[in-house]
Structure 1
């Protein structure tokens, strides 16, 4: 199966097996009845939201059950990620599905939240009857609205979402490799590279590193400048060219703003320190 998104209503005596269906994630809303794990026997009850990924157990509906399913492949969020620019979400939906906090667990919904969830599911199903669900901009907006509601619920319950270590390392590696190419490090371009929204990237970065993305990049550039200033192997022009500054004046102004001194003063201080150590 090569689908990126599929809404489906399942009833009693049906199994949910993401690996078998070819999807990476699924969001289940239990309207009636119960879902039961085939492995552990765990039960997920009426009016609960359930978050599934390919590591999740096989589930089965019991008699008189009615479950609304939204199946996703990872490509669904990547293919339409440009639309996601307008959503100020703290977490990418894939982070939520992969979180240990929620995997194979359900959220019990308060009445107000339940009504909102049911309304959005209803809109998705209704629109799915008249257009292609995988490419529908309207449906994608409804899906993202669901995750905005879910984030609010998580905040109300004070439930943490653990970030993806894999993404952390990939982003850090990308930044280190491209620190000499300022254009590649623009938020729009790096968000495109990792196929996430610019809004999400900014929030993710600040939460992870306790500083803004711009400040993080500036700190790396300052570190590289000072490493080269401390060495006798680099001229100012070479440093300017390597780190993508327009000219020496541009580099000097950037450095003075961050360190409240000039590159030449820093270079002299390192030279005197080396001479004193030699004596």
Structure 2
């Protein structure tokens, strides 16, 4: 897989294309792709979903992605590196570069809050109006608009953080959560013994530290995070049940169904079929 390099801290690109020029690629930076118009299929780390206008996707350096376009599509692409994120004081979101750069596994649009969707669309419209401009202060304006989009992305991504975590967590707990999220398909490294060894503390200290900072136990968070990702696969991808079994390290379909039913009260196949029925009724 070819890695693409960013040559400046911030790049903003408008594209109107009928085919994606850069598929199956990796990045050494953070990329946001906003769908201005058009539709098609989006693949992230072997998971494929349908995309449409007014959706915002994020790609981290850990990801491999690509677009299969249905006709002409318009994109606004925002690319930033860690130095850009570290340059600003993000007063309400500590360690924002860690939160964003280590964010894997979200395969749908990262903006879930309805009010934030409208705000992002307005910010994109304003960003488009000044993207080619050379007027006084346009460069500063582009940075401010970009920063607002980044904050909204981080706020929506934080919905995947533990429910009881503080608004300004210390870096160590953010590192721990990022490691858990990045390795969620590898249960063996998420055991308390493995994690406490990795982060240089005893098992009892680690357990108490995690619960004190996150408001729930390690096992509760890992289980809830796995459930949310499995829900995403069922809702937004065509992955077969046996593929989801393999992806998340379960022994077989019976094992994953038992786990899923414990939390959602239905089997995976029933959950997916119920979602499709609701989606068809809504449409």
TM bracket (short chain): 0.3 to 0.5
Between Structure 1 and Structure 2, whose CA radius of gyration is higher? Answer: 1
